[in-house]
Chain A
Amino acid sequence: MDSQKVKIILQTNQFGNLEVEEDSIYFFPNGVLGFEDYKNYVLISEEGTAPFKWLISIDEPSIGFPILSPFYLDSEYNIGKNIDLDNNVLFVIITLQDQNGNMSANLKAPLIFNIKQMTGEQLILPFEKYLTNYIITRESKE
């Protein structure tokens, strides 16, 4: 007999009802900056928005961060310490529209997910070269 996987249904405004398996939930012991009390998250892909993904709070499903692998923006992205890339994945949080209408990525404070332990945290990199607001939209030339 197959063991029943524990699932929860997350009701979200933007993504409908999400069926989340308990063992797909990431635990962030420190939450993310500004949201330290929200420690449980699920990573989802939404049809039509690849390669972006979304990090949704289990505790407050109205909270969803668009995220992107930093290697789309900088193939040499380096957090400054050796990480085991078999078990760890990096993502950066995206601001869809800043005050100038640009989309930007926070390269300075990436999210690191340990997919073996199902944990995550937001790091702050001590390097000036990585911006909190790295612009990722081109101006259209009309």
Chain B
Amino acid sequence: MLVLSRKIGEDVKIGNSVTVTVLSYDRGVVRLGIQAPKEVAVHRKEIYDKIAELNKIAAKSQLTKLKDALNSNHLIFNANEVNLAIPKNNGSKSNY
């Protein structure tokens, strides 16, 4: 980890396009201002970690488990009740 000391109002530049400014410090809380282009994602790390963790769990989802859940009828919504615009179904399953 690169460690830099900054006074309030001073900046850190990361790469070509990200600038972090130390805005204020008060009672243990540092406020940071971050300038970055919109294609660069900026998040509090704990939120990022939580969502990445959920994604990792979801990525291993078992189809059979979903089928069981639908058959158990324990979902809070009725699949038939909502009529939505959904994207075209592009993947077609073919059995080889």
Contacts and interface: CB of A to CB of B under 8 A. Distances in A.
Interface of A: 9, 14-21, 24, 29-30, 32-35, 42-54, 56, 63-66, 69, 71-73, 75, 85, 89, 93-97, 103, 106, 108-109, 113, 115, 122, 124, 132-133, 135-140
A69 B84 contact: yes
A17 B92 contact: no
B93 interface: yes
Contacts of B57: 95
Contacts of B47: 124
Contacts of B54: 93, 95, 106, 109, 132-133
Interface string B59-73: 101110111011010
B41 interface: yes
Given A17-B94, A89-B85, A33 B77 contact: no
A95 B94 CA distance: 27
Interface residues on B, range: 35 or more
Contact of B96 (A17, A47, A89): A17
B87 interface: yes
A99 B4 CA distance: 40
A56 B74 CA distance: 26
27 contacts: A14-B63, A15-B63, A17-B93, A24-B91, A29-B39, A32-B55, A33-B55, A34-B51, A34-B59, A35-B55, A49-B67, A56-B91, A66-B66, A69-B84, A72-B77, A89-B85, A93-B54, A94-B61, A95-B58, A96-B62, A109-B51, A115-B87, A124-B41, A124-B43, A132-B54, A135-B76, A137-B75
**Would you list the 10 A-B pairs with minimal beta carbon distance, nearest first?**
A24-B90, A34-B52, A44-B91, A14-B63, A33-B52, A34-B55, A72-B77, A63-B59, A33-B51, A17-B96
Given A17-B96, A49-B67, A136-B75, A43 B53 contact: no
A65 to B, nearest CB: 5
Interface of B: 39, 41, 43, 47-48, 50-59, 61-63, 65-67, 69-70, 72, 74-77, 79, 82, 84-96
